[in-house]
Structure 1
Amino acid sequence: MRGGQGLSEMEQNPESQQTGISGGYRQLPWDDEKVTRFWRWQSQFPEEYFTNQFGDRIARILAPWLKSGNGSVLDYGCGLGFLTRHLAALGSKVWATDFSQEAVAITNRRNAGVEGFGGADTVAAIRSRGQRFSRIVSIEVIEHLDDRHIASFFEAIRAMLASDGLVIITTPNEEHLEKSQIYCPCCDHVFHRYQHVRSFSAATLGEMVRAHGLEPIKTFTTDFSRRAWWHPKQIVRDLIAISSGVSRRQPHLACIARRA
């Protein structure tokens, strides 16, 4: 889960959401109001945010693609701004952007005084200034977007990406959406715990990136959430994997792309 307040202006399309839940339960039809209310509630629990828990490791894994170029990095879909300081720690000048004014304000407050932080602003504001970036990073955002918003997501990337720049898109790897569904007894609907509406494999992510005017140069799986071997939670994960005899699939997917 990435800080999802950046999706508060995005109306969701129920037709793009995975079904297949037994018992005839209906998928919750996400719309602008529901998404806003959901992330306003979720923002009360910053400890659950993916980039809050693993921002340092995410930045370290992606560092080989971030340390080159002219040093300008954009955190696209920054949510509550947890990742930004870790990107800045790599030595780059980092800006952040989101669709939500509230998320932008929180990101600016959270990163005030961080060396290398250029500021956060809305996507519309950054585009109106004609800013372009050597690297654009979008961490765990694309899985929240329905078919109607995918095109505008990539269109904004192309508009803000320097001619020789790279974009890095990450998402859960072959996520089984139904395993994270929860049920609302009030409205008799089910929905993904973190408002995911689509799942990607390496092949389908590459196809989508290519279909929207970018050329993948590397796609790989990884585990942004893996802790040090001695961490209690990591020990439990490893013991479960050993006892089950099942090889654990790398849970995260990253695609590095450039302009086609």
Structure 2
Amino acid sequence: MGYVIRGEWDQHYTDGKGFRPLGDVERAVLAEHAPAPKGGGRALDVGCGVGDLAVHLRGQGYAVDAVDFAASAIARAESEHADVKGVRWLRLGIERDDPEELSSMGYDLITLRLVLPFIRDRARVMHGLGGRLRPGGALVIITPTAEHTPEDRRDIALDDEEIELLRAD
């Protein structure tokens, strides 16, 4: 499966690479199913990369903590979105680093866009993230599914069994 070592991801972002831009379908799904609470809300964007989703969530009314374990991703996000207020960029590996910097007040929305397949201990991480949700909050995973992914790329996709496990808790 793709990059799993922090140094490889750092090089990925240092080389100017990223991922596909946030799409209109993703924006529409978030607007419909995870709008910011009246008066604003708090969001956590896990594996934020260069920050496209974090900036979008800010524009929708969330104060955002955007985390990535690649220092070069955070540096690019800070640089490319220097004019955006209300996003806190944090270098943090959600699996191994101390989450002390995350909000102790919890989150109304937690997003994982194109990152879940790269998390090794998904059950532990998802349980920990679920514990950071405020009452009524949502955890949104945006990732390919096996049925819509070519055979040679299935390592980045979730199959039906994994989807059911995520829905169960």
- How does the TM-score come out when normalised to structure 1? 0.51
What residue is the counterpart of 1:207 in the other structure?
A: 164
What residue is the counterpart of 1:173 in the other structure?
A: 145
What SS is found at the alignment partner of 2:52?
A: coil
Q: Quick one: distance in 2 between partners of 1:63 and 1:176?
A: 25
User: Cα gap change, 1:49/1:198 in structure 2, threshold over 3 Å: closer, same or farther?
Assistant: closer
Could you tell me the percent identity over the aligned residues? 23
What residue is the counterpart of 2:135 in the other structure?
A: 163
What residue is the counterpart of 1:126 in the other structure?
A: 101
Query: Which of 134, 144, 147 pairs up with 2:118?
Result: 144
Who wins on radius of gyration, i.e. which is larger? 1
RMSD: 2.9
| Ranges of 4+ aligned residues in structure 1 off by more than 6 Å | none
Q: CA deviation at 1:38?
A: 3.0
What residue is the counterpart of 1:54 in the other structure?
A: 22
Contact 1:145 1:197 in 2 (8 A): no
Structure 1, unpaired ranges of 5+: 1-16, 18-27, 181-195, 215-260
Query: Which of 146, 155, 164 pairs up with 1:197?
Result: 155
What SS is found at the alignment partner of 1:54?
A: coil
AA aligned to 2:6 is T
What SS is found at the alignment partner of 2:155?
A: coil
Q: Quick one: distance in 2 between partners of 1:131 and 1:140?
A: 26
Q: CA deviation at 1:177?
A: 6.0
Contact 2:111 2:140 in 1 (8 A): yes
Number of matched pairs? 159
Q: CA deviation at 1:54?
A: 2.9
What SS is found at the alignment partner of 1:156?
A: helix
Deviation sequence 1:87-127 (CA, Å, 0-9, x none):
22223222212234443343333322214x23122352334
